[in-house]
Structure 1
């Protein structure tokens, strides 16, 4: 593998600085950026990171369950990960469970939020 040193800090979309890195050519001809001394100390808590071995086991089980469901007449449905904030706020006591996606200076009625479970998206899908 050949490497080429790249200097100077660059900004990603979140504004964190990456330090100089090396671009390595892999066997397929694609360039892979390798950086070191990233200012990230640890993973975000509450999110699972699986190794390739564990992820392949999970995918195998999901595939088996989906195949079994299809044999019995079920079809897969995938809804959006976000809903309108106003839809999720209808039930008032769950305000602390809503993660909002807002655009600075936007109209609050158009703000989006990550849904906390699949009840609202499924109900919306069935009514449509």
Structure 2
């Protein structure tokens, strides 16, 4: 129940863009895109008390090859995806906890929010 979309995501990350490419093929040309820093080199170091020694990339698992990935903020990515969803007509209500998924005929039709706002007695809910 963050105050805005992405408020609950504080981490930076190396992100594989394959999901974005499939979901929003034009994202790379969008001037407001959240991921702008593409990985151009991988370096692995063994760090010790006296400094570090570079390890050859050939010994690293394929999973450690980040070429073609992007470095960025997951919070900014979530905010960007939230804006894109709203442009498609999705209603997003940050700041409200979801208490129940509403399903009709096997389809999700909404989400019930928790007890926020004002109580029946006119007192603010916590």
TM-score interval for Structure 1 and Structure 2 normalised by the shorter chain:
under 0.3
Q: Which has the higher helix share?
A: 1
Q: TM-score, normalised by structure 1?
A: 0.22
